[in-house]
Structure 1
């Protein structure tokens, strides 16, 4: 174990990278993509999820660093998200625009709306302007109006721009084209939790409790303790894939949400399930402390993606806090050493996309982009700093 200084320095380094290398001063916005050599792609498309995550990261980072630059960058991300990506006709945020700010994908992906709520509510904490909160509330009511399934519970995945049913519901081409997914439910829960912190109304609390229970009832496999990733509209399982990173990320986010609504029985049950989920993910670690990506059709994808390592560190630390069992703290230390040695680019900044099974850097991967954002790693540093200042239970 170490003090918080290494994590605080890394937090500052991540935010510095995004405020300088990733920020396009000429166009007063983030580049859509920066490659592994820190070369920006001025023609790359821009994604709403990236902007929402940057908004969250700079807003959360400012609360830790009190650096005026973070406040400034959060304001810029907020302005761009609520202008270039905001659909003033039908409501919600667009998925993707091109470098000239023309629509590339105008679908309403609920995952993107959830992240926009997450970023907006974090920004509201440092800029308590009611317009900011109103933006978040607007997205909340859109999700509840169009995405919530009142018959079978849960949330549908995506819609066309005008909220009519969409044919292609996928976040990416690797996903299954299914009505309901673990990933979107996880991040709706995360977004609603942050909304509740700044708008503590009963309706939001009930939605959070319902989402936690949906994980207990449908999404966490009671036999394996892994997450099921894809479902049809009536919660029939549509995937056997194992995602180690999502398993361990969900383990601590579920605890956070249950604690927030304060239901003691829900908290106790969720903590028990969370430990089982972490234990189910432990076979995914290699001997060096890196957590493998996933198992697809029985085949282990032995890549160590940056976000998986970030969530592993937090999940292990949370497991230690819940149990006081030293094995989790030992594994956390090993995970952080792996990140520091293999994932952080100490020379050029930010984190590599990932490491291949031969301990070489995955080639041709972004340092920043639609999916490579200052979210998992910034949050990892903030969570570690916070948790190391708290005793185990």
Structure 2
């Protein structure tokens, strides 16, 4: 394997393609924030703004500044998004955050989930790490504590909305909650170092909760459980496996294992990764399928056999991180394999960036898009920057924003 070639490709994609694509096409210089609904050429096809993506974009561009040094264009993007969040994306009536807003910041949708709050939290945590502004750390702490409170006691949620399922009939819980909170906890600990021991205790509790979603016989992670921690296989909802989600979880656990100095957790994370990857791999067309049924029965979600950009970036992030943590060549070989598939199928050599959504056979959906309510400058930049960091150690050539 040519590590120099691989590193050059990753570095070039990150700094010459993906980052410039979003700075050029996404930044809203009039209202602040970012537009993420971009077509193949980078033209805006919807002016509504995703609150998730405001937080994710701020987080990722502050992270770039922290990793490579402050670039004024990166900081402008991050500052614009976080200011837009603070000004427009919080519902003053209860402190919860919106899901989508207009270009000008007027509220459109608000959902029961805590994901807008989670991305807002990590954005402010990273801003504190970059700027030293303690008001950002305070905001991050406040929303982190709010999310934990809602997680521990859903009745405490100030946003009163009809539950997804009628709880008197079937009360369920989702893997997504302890999973995202584990990652947020890890990021908070990186910024709020004086409270690291408290974050470690919370992380250990969340890991215990995450383990309850693992199917003992197959080792696969299920997306949903009953509130009493029991499976409900009589419903398709109780049999959903999202391989990409499980793969993302595996590297969340790996990061935590190294942080918590827990070698057994790292082994567990590796096993979750391989079980998910092998279950989701499409042997016929290549790539990784979106959803599968635990027992290989039909899946309700009609997009179940599509190939999504983020699933493949998570496989790449996991592979390169597991290589960094274990030095097992198998992970580097897998990284090269998935990277090759992704460049052949997702990467657009004509207009830049990656297609968001492919059919099972690897062709883009028509008309193709580069951005969406759920797709923006997050998963791909996170993967490329982590990969560049780790690969640069192999060639002993650290990179910074002054020499790209």
TM-score interval, smaller chain: 0.7 to 0.9
Residues 121 and 179 of structure 1, relative CA distance in 2, 3 Å threshold: farther
Q: 2:192 maps to what in 1? A: 199
Between the two proteins, the alignment pairs up a number of residues equal to 370
Residue 352 of structure 2 is aligned with which of 345, 349, 369? 349
Residue aligned with 2:239, SS: coil
Q: CA deviation at 1:333?
A: 0.7
Q: 1:292 maps to what in 2? A: 289
Q: CA deviation at 1:321?
A: 4.0
Residue 320 of structure 2 is aligned with which of 312, 317, 322? 317
Moved more, 59-68 or 284-293: 284-293
Moved more, 287-296 or 138-147: 287-296
Q: CA deviation at 1:354?
A: 2.7
Residue 274 of structure 2 is aligned with which of 276, 279, 290? 279
Residue 231 of structure 1 is aligned with which of 199, 214, 225? 225
Residue 162 of structure 2 is aligned with which of 155, 159, 167? 167
Residue aligned with 1:23, SS: coil
Instruction: Name stretches of at least 5 consecutive residues in structure 2 with no aligned partner.
Output: 233-237, 395-404
Q: CA deviation at 1:45?
A: 2.4
Q: 2:88 maps to what in 1? A: 84
In the alignment, the residues of structure 2 paired with residue 369 and residue 134 of structure 1 have an alpha-carbon distance, to the nearest angstrom, of: 31
Residue aligned with 1:251, SS: helix
- Are 2:305 and 2:359, in contact at CA under 8 Å, matched by a contact in 1? yes
- Are 1:36 and 1:352, in contact at CA under 8 Å, matched by a contact in 2? yes
Residue aligned with 1:360, SS: coil
| TM-score of the two chains, using structure 2 as the length reference | 0.84
Instruction: Name stretches of at least 5 consecutive residues in structure 1 with no aligned partner.
Output: 150-155, 171-176
* Equivalences for residues 139-178 of structure 1 within 5 A: 139-149=143-153, 156=154, 159=157, 162-164=158-160, 166-169=161-164
- Are 2:178 and 2:207, in contact at CA under 8 Å, matched by a contact in 1? no
Q: CA deviation at 1:178?
A: 6.1
* Equivalences for residues 49-64 of structure 1 within 5 A: 49-64=52-67
Q: 2:402 maps to what in 1? A: none
Residues 157 and 345 of structure 1, relative CA distance in 2, 3 Å threshold: farther
Q: 1:97 maps to what in 2? A: 101
- Are 1:22 and 1:31, in contact at CA under 8 Å, matched by a contact in 2? yes
Residue 181 of structure 2 is aligned with which of 181, 188, 191? 188
Give me the CA root mean square deviation: 2.5
| TM-score of the two chains, using structure 1 as the length reference | 0.86
- Are 2:14 and 2:385, in contact at CA under 8 Å, matched by a contact in 1? yes
Q: 2:385 maps to what in 1? A: 382
- Are 2:356 and 2:369, in contact at CA under 8 Å, matched by a contact in 1? yes
- Are 1:286 and 1:292, in contact at CA under 8 Å, matched by a contact in 2? yes
Moved more, 108-117 or 245-254: 108-117
